[in-house]
Amino acid sequence: MNRFAAIIKRDLALAFRAGGGAVQGVIFFALTAVLFALAVGPSLSLLSKIAAPILWTGALLATQISLDQIWRADREDGSLDVLVETSDMLAVTALAKAIAHWLATALPLIIAAPLLGVLLNLPENVIAPLVLSLLIGTPGLSLIGCIAAALTVSLPRAHLLISIIVSPLYAPLLIFGAGAAMAEPGSAQVAANLMLLGATTLFAAIISPLASAAALRSNLD
């Protein structure tokens, strides 16, 4: 447990360091929302209808741009080889890495989402379902991204390849997350989409640590 917490603490410190991925992610998220608002123009009714998908897409992209950082520091300082060779619980280490990535990248986006929702003229009664869907769905983004980062850990510049790998896998999370936020508040569709979103994230939580550990061992053999 101490090792698990130490990994999370170390990765959070690296992420919030000046110029780290956490700051970049929030800035990117905000810029995405602003650019969509400018592209839609003065039609506030149209902007209100598409605000939830815009914010979900922005959160997905902002999370995606920092995925290569999950294992980067360990690869650069050589500690990744030690982890793979000596750790008999590499899957637990991978889970800690995914949690740290979510805390550093997705959680700040969720905190910023209500403010950006106001900017995009999102109805007040939709903000709560949007935030709830992000809380349930964004851990799945980090968990799936951890697998892609492990698959490409031996490549020096793998941003584009990681995006190609995770984009189709992110589709269910985006569909169910945006669907929960766009449905009529209090309707059965909200609950159904949230349940499907939670099931997808839970499935990712089961598969991701094992798949990430296997990918790391395969890449570094």
Got the DSSP string for 175-221? HHHHHHHHSPTTSHHHHHHHHHHHHHHHHHHHHHHHHHHHHHHHHH-
Taking the C-alpha atoms of residue 129 and residue 190, their distance in angstroms, rounded to an integer, is: 8
Residue 18 has pLDDT above 70, yes or no: no
Q: Which comes out higher in pLDDT, residue 158 or 169?
A: 169
Specify the pLDDT at position 13. 83
Which of 32-36, 186-190, 206-210 is predicted most confidently? 206-210
Q: Which range, of 39-43, 126-130, 172-176, averages the lowest pLDDT?
A: 39-43
Specify the pLDDT at position 20. 57
Query: Whole-model pTM?
Result: 0.90
Residue 19 has pLDDT above 60, yes or no: no
Residue 219 has pLDDT above 60, yes or no: yes
Whether the CB-CB separation of 108 and 25 falls below 8 Å is answered with yes
Taking the C-alpha atoms of residue 112 and residue 126, their distance in angstroms, rounded to an integer, is: 15
The rounded radius of gyration (Å) of the Cα atoms in the chain is 18
- Count of beta carbons in the 10 Å neighbourhood of residue 67: 27
Domain boundaries, the chain: 2-220
